[in-house]
Structure 1
Amino acid sequence: MTKEIAVIGLGQFGGSAVKQLHKLSADVTVIDISESKVKYYEDYAVECIVGSATDENMLKTIGIEHYDEVIIAIGEDIQTSILCTLILKELGVESITAKAQSNHHGKLLKKVGADNVLHPETEMGIRLANQLVNMSLVDYMEISDDTAIVEYDANERFINSALINIGIREKFGLNVIAIKRNKEVIVPPDPQMNILENDVLVIIGKIENLNRFESKMIKPKS
């Protein structure tokens, strides 16, 4: 079944979400107070609405409570994002994802009903810092306070070795959940498969174990 998702706020974050959701064949409704922004995204949405995020009558009229997910992408205006979250919760929206500007903002969003809170600027800063420190790190994403998914370029320690012989799970308590090879993503990877040059390992595990793995197995940036 096609998911129905509303995106409120069409800044850079909200606009990126709309385009990606469109690629994934979701039915997207866009809402923004700017008519020009709404018009820009009309090719990516099934419904385009010019209006305020806190207009309760408008939200009721479109049946916002029936959407599978509502994304509040207006983190810059803290008061509006909090009020919008509160209204959506009172209207019975099942799942609300909201963008936060800070940890304090995120806590307030959680208190008034946000099911998921995103900190895109913080997450981008973490990714950048990790990539600057370690040139083998392709991507980094925390999925909880103590767990992350990371992508590493295969270095000379791994190339032409079978995945099982590297001992990533046995030595470090980590799991290789995929291997990116050229344009192919191998999920799940066969433990007996050899790692090739230019492969990217996608690994999940506790952050402390990932740090231990990096220090032992990943060559630091010189």
Structure 2
Amino acid sequence: MNEQKDKEILYFQNKLSSVDYNPQRFKIMFGEDKFLFGVVSAGNDDAPFGKLMQYKTIHDTLMDLDWKIKLSFNETIKFSYSDEVASNFSLMRTDTEEERLAYYYLENALFRTSSLWDMLAQLYRLYFDINIPKEKVYYKQIFNPTNNYSHDFKIKATEIYGYIEQDDNTDCEDEWKGNHSFANALRNKMTHRNSPNVAVMSDFDMNLKCHPVFQIKRVIEDYSVVSQYIKDILDQIENDIMDSFNYEEK
């Protein structure tokens, strides 16, 4: 049992450590200790430095989000695999503080991971000059290959949308299928109806809890996928535009 537990924890930790943001990305240096902090364009969003600073704003937000996501995942892993949860978990009730904390940190990770998808869409909106106000960006709209928004990245949009709409399948050796749909449904239920982590039986809902480890696997694998998509577009942006700013990555 301990061997299986250690194997699962290592798998989760490897997923987390595989995501890494370079704090020097999009940083324009002037000398040894000076860099361009920001630019506000005078009515011209297409100003080169202005667009660069928009990328940097999104990237800095992603680094902040990722730190909080990793913290939340590490905490929920710790509590989910505690002896108290292992000994007392029930589908019908919550008996320990450790279990409450496991779900608490899992919910934090879930909500912040869902934000990564909209940040991914923001990067595509900016890079491909999609004519949508940043306040109106919704990732399923951006990546739906039947919409004109994805005209310039149809192949990638088809890949991403295929993952988003993937059928559920947990009969897999490694990554499960349908993780995003599961995580999205979990978040929506939590936001708009009632907690999926509280057992109920009523006309309002009938719900039995999922063990937090089951939810961790689904959410952390979704986090891994969206983080790779983010890295792909960040690399593309950097390769295409940074040379013109005499950028040198540290």
Q: Which of the pair is proportionally richer in helix?
A: 2
TM-score class, shorter: under 0.3
TM-score, with structure 2 as normaliser: 0.20
- Going by fraction, where is strand more abundant, 1 or 2? 1
